[in-house]
Amino acid sequence: MPAILGQNQYGKAENRVVRIVRDGDTHHIKDLNVSIALSGAMDEVHYHGSNTGVLPTDTTKNTVYAFAKEHGIASAEQFGIHLARHFVTSQDTIHRARIRIEEYAWERIPLPGADARPDRATETGHSFVRTRQETRLAQITYDGDRWQIVSGLTDLTVLNSTNSEFRGYVKDAYTTLKEAYDRILATDVSARWRHNWTSDEQGMPDWEQSYARTKQHLLEAFAETYSLSLQQTLYQMGSRVIDSRSEIDEIRFSLPNKHHFLVDLEPFGQKNDNEVYLAADRPYGLIEATVLRDGTEAAIPVDLTNL
C-alpha cells in the first residue's frame, strides 16, 4: 500500500519578542514567546519538494516583530488573533493558523520613599523585576471562518497550610499511607480555559480583564475550599470559573500534588505537632480533569496540558 501524507503543519517556534510602550518617563512592557504553526495545501512541498506554496518560516518570524510595532501587544490573545488572521487571509495555500504564546510577567521595582516623595515616584517607571508567579498562556486557532481561543497559565504555586484532609480511601496489601486529618495541600496549577467567542460577529471579550478575573477565581476557590481531596479542590476551582465567567465554557487542569510529609522528630525527643515537614518533589500524585459548562462538549486539545 503506498504511503500518503497525513496531518501536517510548519512554522517558526519560540519567537521571543519584547515590546516597550514609552509613556513619558513611565514605560510598559510585554514579554512574549510566540510559536506559529501553519497548515493547508502543502502536499506539493512534501511529495515533490516544490516550495511555490510555502511562506518561509523566516517570514513568519519577521511578521511577529513587525506586528509588535504595527498593532502593539494589548494582550497575548489579541496579538495572536492579529497574527492568525493575517496568515490565513494573506496566503491562498494557508488554511489554518495556530498561534501559541507564553507571556512572562514583569513588575515595577519600588524605590524607598517613593510613596512619601511623589517627585521620585517616576524613577520606577523604567525599572522592572521578573515576577516568580505564573506564566500566562494563550493558543489562538483560526481557519478563516471560526476561532478557538484558549487562555491559561502554568506554574502558579499555591499552598494551604491547613483545612485539608485525606482519609477513607481504598486500602490494599500495598497501602502504607496513613490517613491525614490535617495536612498541607500544595500544587502547581496548570490550567487552560476555552472561550466561547468563536466568530468575528460576536462581541470580543476583554482578554486582560478575563485573565485577571479568572486567575482570581482560581485562587479564591483554592483558598476557600475545605479540601477532602485534591480532586474536590480542582472541581471547586473549575466550577467557580464556569459559574462566574460567562465567556468561558471549559477549563482543563493538571495539578501535581506537592507532598509535604511530617518529619519524625521522636528520635530527638521532640513532638512534631504539624510544624515541621519534608517537602518532597518526587514522586508526586498528578490529578487531571476538565470542568465544563453544562450542555457543552470538551474541545480543548489534550496536548495543551503539556505546553
Residue 166 annotated as binding?
yes
Q: How far is CA 224 from the centre of its chain?
A: 22
The CA distance from 227 to 286, in Å, is 16
For the chain, give the number of residues. Answer: 307
The CA distance from 249 to 296, in Å, is 7
Q: How far is CA 63 from the centre of its chain?
A: 24
Q: Would you call 12 a catalytic residue per the annotation?
A: yes
Q: Would you call 122 a catalytic residue per the annotation?
A: no
* Type of residue numbered 107: E
Which residue stretches of the chain are H helix?
43-47, 57-70, 76-90, 207-224, 230-244
Say if CB 83 and CB 36 are below 8 A apart: yes
Residue 63 annotated as binding?
no
- How many CA atoms does the CB half-sphere of 65 hold within 13 Å? 9
Say if CB 153 and CB 76 are below 8 A apart: no
Q: Give me 170's grid cell.
A: 481504598
Residue 57 annotated as binding?
yes
Residue 232 annotated as binding?
no
Q: Which of 28, 57, 154, 198 is catalytic?
A: 57
* Type of residue numbered 307: L
Say if CB 243 and CB 252 are below 8 A apart: no
Residue 231 annotated as binding?
yes
Residue 67 annotated as binding?
no
The CA distance from 190 to 188, in Å, is 6
Q: Which residue has the cell 496489601?
A: 173
Q: Would you call 48 a catalytic residue per the annotation?
A: no
Q: Which residues are annotated as a binding site?
A: 57-58, 166, 183, 231, 257
Q: Which residues are annotated as a binding site for O2?
A: 57, 257
Q: Which residues are annotated as a binding site for urate?
A: 57-58, 166, 183, 231, 257
Active-site residues, by number, are 12, 57, 259
